[in-house]
Structures are given as C-alpha cells and as structure tokens.
Copies of this chain bind each other. A is one copy, B any other.
C-alpha cells in the first residue's frame, strides 16, 4: 500500500469538485487536439485554448493540494520532523562516520527509552495479563530449521538487475512506483482505468517472475542505465553465515522469532501442564537482507519483533476472554472492500466475528487487544486500520490474515500481522524431526471411535528397519488411532502388498490389523497457531510521527506528545536563576524523582525558561518543575504540563508522588488542576 493510495482515500465534496474539473480538463484537452488537427485554426485561437487548459490544470493541482491539507498526513512537515529526529538523536544512521550501511539504524537515547517503555507495556498488556510463556531463543539458526519452515526455499523477493551496472532492485517495488508515477502524471485518467492500474499495483508482490517481467515491460520500466532490466529471479532475504570453526555448518540469522517457539512446542506444553489453549511469546531481533531498503525506518535489515504464538484446538477457536473485547469497534478493510468500494468499515469485533468477516474469536480477540495496545501507548486511533490479506497474498495453509496498518507520512504501513496459520508450523517440524507435536483434549464424556488394532511381526520389522523399527511402528500406531486415517494403508497393503509411511516402505508381512472400536476419553490433535506478530521498530517510528506537532505552527517549537508512561524522561527540573540556593532545591527534587525511578532532566543552562521548556518539549518530557524565588520562601514550585502549557503551584514535597502517579496512570492532569492552584505564565 503506498502514499498514492492513501491520498486517494481523502474523498468527499472536494473529491467531487476535483472530478468535475478533471472532466473539464479532459474535454478541453480533446478540444485543443481537434483545433491542432484541423489545421485551419489561427495560432492565437490555439494559444488561448492551451492557456485555458493550463488554467484548469493549475486549478486541479491547487484542489489536490487542498485535499491533502484535509488529510492529516499531508500536514506533517517531514523536513522539520526529520531534522528533530536526528538532532535530538532519536534515530541515527548506523556507523555514520564510516559511511553507514543502507537499512541499518541506531536508536539514540530518547528513542531507546521510548522503546523500552513500549516493550514494557507490551509485556504487561500481552504476556503478563494472559500468563503467556515468554521465551528468548537465539538469532543464529541452523539451516535444517529454516529448511523445514520453508524459509530456505521460499523466503525470497523477486529481484532484477540493471545489466549495465549490476545494481539490484526489487521488481515489485519498481512496478508499484511505475504505477504511482503513471497515475500521478495523468490526473485526468478515468476512475475505472485508475482502479485497474491500482489493482495491478496491489498484487505486485504476488506475481510470478514471468508475470512480473511482462508487467515491467508493459509499464515501460527501464533500468537507470536506460537498458531494460534483466529477468527477475528470487533472492533469498536471509543473512547466511557458518556456525563452528569447521566452516561446514550453514546457519542463518532468523527472519522472524516464531520458529524458536515452534521447535520448543513440546517443552512449552509441558511447562503449561499440558493445558490448552495457551500462548507463547517472544521479543527479539529479526534480520532480513532487504534488496533495496528505503522508506527510512520502515524497511530495515535488522529489527525488533514481538511475536505471540497462540496454540489452539483447530475445532474450537473460541477465546475465553472474547466477551471482554466484543464491543470494541475496529476499522476493518476487508478483502471485498479492497477490491470493491475501496472504503473501510468501522465495526464491533464481536459483530465482525459473528458475521464471518473475521474468521474466528481468537483471531478477533487479538486484533482488539492490539488496537487497545496501540491506544495505550499513545498511537492516534484515527490512523489505525486492519487490512485483510487478499487470497493471493496468503499462504495456502493460512485461514485468515489481518494486518494492523498505521498511517504515517509513508502511507498505510503494515505494523502488526494477525494470522491464523492453521497447524502448518507444528506439522512441518513434527514431520521433519519425527517428533509428535500433539496436544490432548480430555472429553467430558467418553466417545466411541473406530480404530485399527495392530499386531506387528517384530522380526520382519527389525530385519528391514533395524534401529528405526520403533519409528515405523510408532507412525503406524498413530494412524491406527483413527480408522479413517489407517484405512488407506490397509487398502494399499491388501491390494499392493506394500505402501509407504513417513518415507518407510511397509510390506504386508510386517503388520496385521483388525478394524474395531474403542471408548476414548481424550483426543490427540495438532494445535492450530494464531500468530500476532509486531514490528516493534515500525510501531516505534509510527509513534514518533503520531506524537510530533509544531506548537502554533512554529518550526522552532516542536513538541513530542508522548504519554507519561512512554515518555523517555518523565520530568524536567529547572532553576529560574543560577543562584546556589535555587540550584540546591533543583538537585534535591531531581534526586528524589530519580530515587523513584523517574527519569529526570535537569537543565541549569542560562537559556530563558521558555527556551528550556521548548527543549524539554522537543524530547516529549511531559512535566517540568521550576524552582523560583518563591520556592525559597514558601517551599512551593510550579509544575507545567507539556501540551496545555498550563502550570500549577504545589509544595515541592508533593512533586515526586504527583509525577509518579501521573506516570503510573493513577492521577490525571485534570485532577491536579482541580486540587492545586493554576497559575498563568506566559512562555517565550
């Protein structure tokens, strides 16, 4: 999804006006062409018609600009924001003095603190609140694991090269850009034609290499050298290395944290005393060797993820806590709407699940919890939406996927995936390692089931399979638990005299069976996995954008409106003068705040108070205490709230408790202004 699509959504009356003008442009352009073709028209007449066409285009352009103003992302001043982010060392390019590396960024002190607070909220909101089993697995991953998961073969992007320079490009992004450009440079393109192009754009990452090559030609994409691109081919995005001194063991840096949890499933189930459903979680790094990193911080090569794997019975995806979120309204952008109206819908998650828009309760539950998390850390709720994956985007085994997208100046960006991955992951690891990965459902009432009762000829088995014979008999016993599973084996053995199970060739002599029935008190099943996967870096970047504003539209007065709980520093303490007595009180208050683990910013510089408030605003410090001459007389100080710039006067001994309670959500600014004297102070 790109910025163009985002802008295309800003609709309403202005949109209609613009459509009307664009229709007039089309008409006038056709008129000019006719005049020219006619050959009989005077040059002046043509010039006048061309001038009229130009005026219409200028009007259309100014209309587009007005539309952008209504769109909040358009008000965003990226130049000022980027300058602030770098100057205040929120985020800086990694290894800058050595020339840097594309797609690698460091978090500086304020962003590092915001991220730590964000991760802390995440852990409380998800892990702690639901007693999830948190793990920390390694980034280094042996090849066999990622071969099993499919990443070695399929974790690829299609790449093309400029044949002249050897420079590499992501093929789908080239196509998306070409379509953006085509639409942008043809404002008078009929809506239906534009929609056609946008549909191609939406599917850009789902084309086969051959299809993509055709599209690149169709849209006239040329390499920077001017030559056509070479054919597109899959490039694996994993960083490869070798583990151990021999140099023979291939390893990769994990592209996601999930595999570590899947391979630990049996131990996790034990740790949960075999109870289902349950969730495991992990916060950690992921790595992707992006072909052409761009979009600043949104497409990077090393990133922090938070992943939850909720293991559930595939026949019962209800969630015990679903009622607690059922009435929560979410903005959904369903599959049909993406290909149809292009409009989102606001709908309670309970209704979305019961009407089948969202596949099941557990998936819906996590979507609602994600929305609540975003609101809790201070994301703008008006710039969040859940976009459903198109059928072409989903893996064949997936039941349903919804991405939480956050709107920023880069458009709508996928920040949290919510995928029902069925039992794919456990299945592949179970098969590859010959390790059963099953959970048990205890039945309330015993149930009669048809089974096969097996009798093995251990001698025959042993002779053929030697050490593997237990594996073979185990695999057959597992199938025999359910006659429906065993029936094809039985048929094959009877008809052909042999068959293959888990790669072993079984012959008739090895086993005999009897179809029978038995009472079972429990059922074994491979759990389905519902996976919310958070891109912490993207969330952090989006939060920085959502938090940024300019006071009174003044470029010199930037503010980050962080909530107290996520603000990198909680309180500034400023002396009104450089007097020793005043400074002593500043140190005393700061020490007390620090002792309560409240990160504190002391600014004793000689700049004006207003300037020092502004500096604190720039890193989003929510409160500022000022020690003045009255403090020395009566022990009171002023406390300023960042966004309103309103100040209250309170005893200095109250400061730590009040700020602590603000940060921990136990006291609000409204309550504070009711309790303490509000003082008016002009800032400049």
In contact, A136 and B159 (Cβ under 8 angstroms): no
A51-63: CB near B (< 8 Å → 1, else 0) gives 0000000000000
In contact, A260 and B98 (Cβ under 8 angstroms): no
- Identify A263's interface contact among B98, B115, B145, CB under 8 A: B98
Residue of B with least CB distance to A136: B107
Contacts of A107 in B (CB 8 A): 135-137
In contact, A104 and B138 (Cβ under 8 angstroms): yes
- Identify A291's interface contact among B123, B134, B245, B597, CB under 8 A: B245
Contacts of A433 in B (CB 8 A): 97-98
Contacts of A266 in B (CB 8 A): 97
Contacts of A141 in B (CB 8 A): 95
In contact, B139 and A285 (Cβ under 8 angstroms): yes
- Identify A245's interface contact among B106, B108, B113, B168, CB under 8 A: B168
A432 sits at the interface (CB 8 A): yes
A632 sits at the interface (CB 8 A): no
Assess A144 versus B106: contact at CB under 8 Å? Given A129-B594, A166-B246, A260-B94. no
A133 sits at the interface (CB 8 A): yes
Contacts of A138 in B (CB 8 A): 94, 104-106, 301-302
Residue of B with least CB distance to A119: B116
A89 sits at the interface (CB 8 A): yes
Tell me, in angstroms, the Cα distance from A44 to B80 when the chains sit together.
100
Residue of A112, A141, A246 ringed by the most chain B CB atoms within 10 A: A112
Shortest C-beta distance, A225 to chain B (Å), equals: 16
Contacts of A102 in B (CB 8 A): 244
In contact, A241 and B260 (Cβ under 8 angstroms): no
In contact, B159 and A134 (Cβ under 8 angstroms): no
Tell me, in angstroms, the Cα distance from A26 to B129 when the chains sit together.
67
Interface residues on chain A, number (Cβ under 8 Å): 80
Tell me, in angstroms, the Cα distance from A253 to B159 when the chains sit together.
25
In contact, A98 and B145 (Cβ under 8 angstroms): yes
Contacts of A285 in B (CB 8 A): 139, 285
Assess A260 versus B168: contact at CB under 8 Å? Given A94-B138, A285-B139, A433-B97. no
In contact, A108 and B135 (Cβ under 8 angstroms): yes
In contact, A267 and B108 (Cβ under 8 angstroms): yes
A243 sits at the interface (CB 8 A): yes
Assess A144 versus B264: contact at CB under 8 Å? Given A105-B138, A139-B139, A246-B168. no
Contacts of A123 in B (CB 8 A): 116
In contact, A241 and B244 (Cβ under 8 angstroms): no
Tell me, in angstroms, the Cα distance from A168 to B246 when the chains sit together.
7
Residue of B with least CB distance to A111: B136
Tell me, in angstroms, the Cα distance from A597 to B123 when the chains sit together.
10
Shortest C-beta distance, A554 to chain B (Å), equals: 23
A101 sits at the interface (CB 8 A): yes
Task: Report A133-161 residues with CB < 8 Å from chain B CB.
Answer: 133-142, 144-145, 148, 159
A630 sits at the interface (CB 8 A): no
In contact, B128 and A599 (Cβ under 8 angstroms): yes
List 26 A-B pairs, Cβ < 8 Å.
Answer: A89-B268, A89-B270, A89-B271, A92-B267, A94-B137, A94-B260, A95-B142, A95-B145, A97-B263, A97-B429, A97-B435, A98-B263, A98-B432, A101-B140, A101-B142, A101-B243, A108-B264, A113-B134, A115-B136, A128-B597, A131-B599, A131-B600, A140-B287, A166-B246, A239-B243, A243-B289
A89-B267, A94-B260 are known contacts; what are 18 more A-B pairs with Cβ within 8 Å? A89-B270, A97-B263, A97-B433, A98-B432, A98-B433, A101-B249, A106-B135, A106-B138, A108-B264, A115-B136, A131-B599, A140-B239, A140-B287, A159-B245, A166-B246, A168-B246, A241-B241, A253-B253
